[in-house]
């Protein structure tokens, strides 16, 4: 419970991001006007969007494919069990003595 709480707090608590800015970006943004700052913010959002959507789409496709493979494996396993059971319990199958 303590680990879950610590994990939740690390996601919720704001972290200082001052160490992540480069000097060139900072000076360009500081010297630019409001239109440039808005363009920079829009550019950041545009650059974040497609990779996020691609990741979500890939996770969705992998999840669906995993379920299809599991269903196919279960069907194959059930077919094998059915075939083995039907052959061994069949009244027309002769009993064979064990090989020596």
Domain boundaries, the chain: 26-87
How long a stretch of residues is the chain? 100
- Model-level pTM? 0.43
Q: Decide: 37 and 29 in contact? Cβ < 8 Å.
A: yes
Q: What is the 8-class DSSP label of residue 3?
A: H
* Rounded distance between C-alpha atoms, residue 57 and residue 50, angstroms: 10
Torsion of CA 48, 54, 59, 65, to 10 degrees: 180
* Rounded distance between C-alpha atoms, residue 6 and residue 96, angstroms: 65
One digit per residue, the tens of pLDDT, for the chain of length 100 reads 888 888 877 777 666 555 556 777 777 777 878 888 788 888 888 888 899 999 999 999 998 888 888 787 777 776 766 666 544 455 555 555 566 6
């Amino acid at each position: 419970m303590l680990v879950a709480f610590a994990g939740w707090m690390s996601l919720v608590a704001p972290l200082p991001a001052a160490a992540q800015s480069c000097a060139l970006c900072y000076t360009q943004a500081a010297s630019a006007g409001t239109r440039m700052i808005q363009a920079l913010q829009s550019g950041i959002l545009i650059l974040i969007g497609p990779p996020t959507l691609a990741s979500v789409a890939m996770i969705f496709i992998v999840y669906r494919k995993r379920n299809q493979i599991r269903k196919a494996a279960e069907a194959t396993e059930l077919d094998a069990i059915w075939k083995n059971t039907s052959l061994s319990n069949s009244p027309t199958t002769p009993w064979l003595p064990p090989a020596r």
